[in-house]
Amino acid sequence: MPHSSLKHARGARLALICLILAACLGASGQDAPATFSGNLGGERVTLSAAVHDVGGVAYVSLNRLVDQLGGGMTLMTGQGEISLDGASAVAVVNDAAVRTATKQFTLQHPVLAGDNALFIAASDAEAFFREGFGVAVTRTTAAAPPVELSPSTPADALLEEDPAALLAPLPDPAPAPAAVEPLTPVDPALTEEAPPLEPVTAPESAAEAPASATVAPESLRGPVLALALDAGHGGSDAGTTAQGGVLEKEVTLALAQRVAEKFKERSKIPVSLTRDGDRAMTAGERAASGGVKPGALLVSLHAGAPAAPEGAGVLLLHAPVTGRGGDPDALAGRAQSFAEGLAGKLNGAEGGAKAAVRAAPLRLQTAAGVPCVLAECGTLSTAEGAAALADAARRDALADGIAAALAELLNEHNARP
């Protein structure tokens, strides 16, 4: 078969798959959601996504899985760029090939597109996250009910340091999954995709927004001795690329430099940057930078939120408080308190960007050992958001607002007895 007709036949077949997918997504009948256990920097997170049967293959929303892991997705024509834990990968629609900065790998089934999301075969999820990001994700939905999983279950024993934990469901750190959200009579394909941004919360209600467990009071004490600003991505890792060509790594550096400059004018707390140039850094390298020391607060700046209700919104992420105690919970509790405080300051400022808070696993905090707040400052995923961040004056105004909010919050925090 000549190359062109082969391509044509393949295109027709894939178009058919897309039609089937669209039909399935529009239908109300769905199987029970597929659940996965993700291991991100030693922290376990439970993922759940509705299953869509596409020609006998169980597909799940890749956006939903990435979202629950604290990553982001930018959809472009014919492909999606997934950002997770400081790395990114590009998945091509109707193709099984996935490209990262360093390699390409092939899934068993093609990636499909539908309703502002990419879908992958549930059976491909493990390979996708392992090969693409070095993140261990394992499917926990089995034919047998979870209670029958035992420490001897080989597939789970590989990943779970504590297989017994599978018997007791973890408190879900993420915002309520679609299954327990108030049901609204709309297309299930739309309800499955929880909007990545929580509704913008007013300052007084911000404290109630996250789904984390109660913060231990002792974790909130102690002055902030330093502010470390981390410009997300860098070097070969561009982060999200906007349609107009704006790169997240450049936006985050410009934001970090401006926030540092303005913070200095308003606070005596020393401020530093984890990177001040265009270079790729691992979470460990960021954590090892001079400003990340005991007593510091680490604020990582990003601009790749998958979608935002308004271009200028700020999404503040902190690691979930699990209620299991120990250092991770103390750090998460302190980070949650700062994230909520920062949201309160931003939401209380007139004319500034509105902020929302939510919990997500943050490997950077695990690596740094200091509380970390990851701020998605606007989004490059929409034309409107990208235009706002490409405009130096508007970007600076956003940075100035964040600097003022940070300075006020930390100055007040340190002034408390």
What is the distance between the alpha carbons of residues 334 and 294, in angstroms, rounded to a whole number? 13
61, 119 contact by CB (below 8 A)? yes
Residues 237-276 within binding reach of Zn ion (CB under 5 A) = 239
307, 196 contact by CB (below 8 A)? yes
Nearest to residue 10, comparing CAs of 96, 120, 99, 94? 94
Q: Which of 232, 328, 361, 401 binds Zn ion (CB under 5 A)?
A: 232
DSSP state, residue 56:
T
Which residue number, 80 or 232, has a Cβ lying nearer to Zn ion?
232
Using rule CB under 5 A, residue 304 touches Zn ion? yes
Q: In what order do the strands lie in the sheet with 72-76?
A: 72-76, 79-84, 87-92, 97-100, 104-106
- Minimum CB–partner distance for residue 263 and Zn ion (Å): 21
Binding range to Zn ion, per CB under 5 A, among 143-151, 213-221, 285-293, 304-312:
304-312
Residues 79-138 within binding reach of Zn ion (CB under 5 A) = 83
- The residue nearest Zn ion at its CB is 302
Using rule CB under 5 A, residue 401 touches Zn ion? no
Residues 325-354 within binding reach of Zn ion (CB under 5 A) = none
Report how far apart, in Å, the C-alpha atoms of 382 and of each of 74, 196, 305, 369, 389 are. Answer: 9, 13, 10, 34, 11
- Minimum CB–partner distance for residue 237 and Zn ion (Å): 9
Using rule CB under 5 A, residue 378 touches Zn ion? no
Beta-strand relationship, 136-139 and 31-40 = antiparallel
Using rule CB under 5 A, residue 177 touches Zn ion? no
Beta-strand relationship, 43-54 and 57-61 = antiparallel
- Minimum CB–partner distance for residue 231 and Zn ion (Å): 10
Which residue number, 82 or 407, has a Cβ lying nearer to Zn ion?
82
For residue 47, what are the β-bridge partners?
Answer: 36
Which residue number, 304 or 401, has a Cβ lying nearer to Zn ion?
304
Using rule CB under 5 A, residue 70 touches Zn ion? no
Using rule CB under 5 A, residue 71 touches Zn ion? no
Residues lying near Zn ion in the complex (CB under 5 A) are found at 83, 232, 239, 302, 304
